[in-house]
Amino acid sequence: MKLSDIGTDNQKQKLCKLTTKSFISCRFEEKCYYEKSNLINGDIIFKSPRTRNENIRELKEYISRFFCGK
């Protein structure tokens, strides 16, 4: 999710997905932070914490689709 695009409907949905995925990571893996990447053009991208556990990864996808839609 790009920080510069907050406010559009598409970005609100991405923020919802980011929040739900990060909550799952925080709850089950104790990774309670957003990963941040700086792009060359100055934008900042926030990502949910990465997980190697397939079950947690699937849970993150399912919960984000349930609460935020496609």
Q: Residue 7's pLDDT is what?
A: 67
Which is more confidently placed, 13 or 62?
A: 62
Q: Residue 1's pLDDT is what?
A: 54
If you compute the radius of gyration of the chain from its CA atoms, what whole number of angstroms results? 12
Task: Tell me the residue range of the domain where 11 lies.
Answer: 3-68
Which is more confidently placed, 70 or 21?
A: 21
The number of domains in the chain is: 1
Q: Residue 51's pLDDT is what?
A: 87
Q: Residue 57's pLDDT is what?
A: 92
Q: What angle do CA 1, 44, 11 make, to 5 degrees?
A: 25
Which DSSP helix (H) or strand (E) runs through 48? none
Over the stretch 20-67, which tens digit does the pLDDT of each residue have?
Answer: 988 999 899 888 887 887 777 777 778 888 888 999 999 999 999 999
